[in-house]
Structure 1
Amino acid sequence: MPEIETARLQLRPYTPNDLDELAPILSNPAVMKYSPRGPIPTEKLKEVTLETLEFFIAHWRQHGFGVWAVVEKATVKLIGHCGLNFLPNSPEVEVLYRLDQAYWNQGIVSEATKASLRYGFEVVKLDQIVAITAPEHTASRRVMEKAGLKYEKNAQFYNLDVVYYAISRSQWQPDDSPYILQT
């Protein structure tokens, strides 16, 4: 599976060995506040984290694209994830992201999102990529807008009311951000 190197990040495939690093991120109620799953109860944390890893790994195998583990290059620490995933019961591909709270407001998720979009349009040759979030999740909406996605409508996914953003391959423009694809 391919990896991507950006200025500060290594986007690499998840493995089951990431369980112990990902679980504390997913256990943080602030990180999970807008997740369709919501905060994960402590007694189910390992189980849900393993299910998440298995889902992301299987998605890559089945579709040739998916969600990467986001690793800070300077520390080689797993700090979250970002990548491409089919929306449930839909042919649409979304870009999604979730970062450890200590890494918010540093432009890191925007960096990972832009790399994921580039991969989706240049390698996977997707025609469109979408993103969804809770209407009140302004930080996530800013990430979408910085990456070039535009608000299109209110919608419902995961049995939640969301705002729906999208960008087409013809609208997308790569910037000069460092991006090294390693296959």
Structure 2
Amino acid sequence: MNNDKFNEIYTDRLLLRRFKDDDFESYYDILKQEEVSMWLGNGKRKSPEDVKRVMKYFERHWALNDYGVWAVINRETNELIGQCGFNILEDTKETELLYAFDSKFWGKGYATEASMAAIKFFSENFKLNPIVALAYPNNDRSSNVIKKIGFEYKGMAKHFGVELLYYELNLEKLSF
């Protein structure tokens, strides 16, 4: 497929675009925050090497699947404020919606706005169903976003060596 239209998505306040090499410093500044990294994967703070590995993984994922994780840019300030997109879970091969934002931007609706745009893109271009979302049991902010988008809680599931809340979204039930 390798279609350029998949590289960027615009919302009222955000631009979702593929990561670039020069995003590293800003992205590392986000992922090194303990209050951010504690909710991602195994919950450990990310080193510069971890962030470089993640960025390379995202690019490989795009190359193999024609979708992946976007850098989320505030359109007003042109600042990288987080990530949002899709990943194939290694152990189950399910497509997961994931997002993470700089803690100074929490509570402003960016995760919901970016996630809705990403899901709309995904539902219009891919026939994979359902998509899943994962959250740490005590991460109420993330769980609230996931539920607001329309995911249904299905139980607990172990991923990344951690027991997580497991949600599903049936794309066929969505109306945009």
In the superposition, the TM-score normalised over structure 1's length comes to 0.89
What is the alpha-carbon distance in structure 2 between the residues aligned to residue 84 and residue 95 of structure 1?
A: 5
Confirm or deny that 1:51 pairs with 2:56: no
The number of residue pairs the alignment matches comes to: 171
2:115 is the counterpart of 1:113: yes
CA RMSD of aligned residues (A): 1.2
Whole-angstrom distance in 2 between the partners of 1:37 and 1:53? 17
Q: Residues of 2 paired with 1:59 and 1:141: CA distance? A: 25
> How far apart are the structure 2 equivalents of 1:140 and 1:173?
22
What is the aligned partner in structure 2 of residue 98 from structure 1? 100
Question: Which of 124, 132, 135 is the matching residue for 2:134?
Answer: 132
For residues 45-86 of structure 1, give each alpha carbon's deviation from its aligned partner in whole angstroms, at most 9, with x where no partner exists.
221111111011110011000000000000000011000110
Amino acid paired to 1:61: A
Contact 1:71 1:79 survives alignment (8 Å): yes
- Per-residue displacement from partner, 1:105-164 (whole Å, max 9, x unpaired)? 011100001111111111122221110011111110001011111101111111100111
SS in 2 for 1:62: helix
Match of 1:29 in 2: 34
Quick one: distance in 1 between partners of 2:126 and 2:132?
14
Letter in structure 2 aligned against 1:96: L
Paired position in structure 2 for 1:156 = 158
The answer on 1:11 being equivalent to 2:8 is: no
Secondary structure of residue in 1 paired with 2:59: helix
2:82 alignment counterpart: 80
Alignment match, 1:147: 149
Determine helix, strand or coil for the equivalent of 1:65: coil
Q: TM-score, normalised by structure 2?
A: 0.93
SS across alignment from 1:22 = helix
Contact kept, 8 Å, 2:42 with 2:162, in 1: the verdict is no
- Partner-residue secondary structure (3-state), 2:173: coil
Q: Distance in 1 between matches of 2:53 and 2:86?
A: 17
Gaps of 5+ in 2: none
Q: Aligned residue for 1:178?
A: none
Q: Secondary structure, in 3 states, of the residue corresponding to 1:170? A: helix
2: CA distance between counterparts of 1:21 and 1:142? Answer: 26
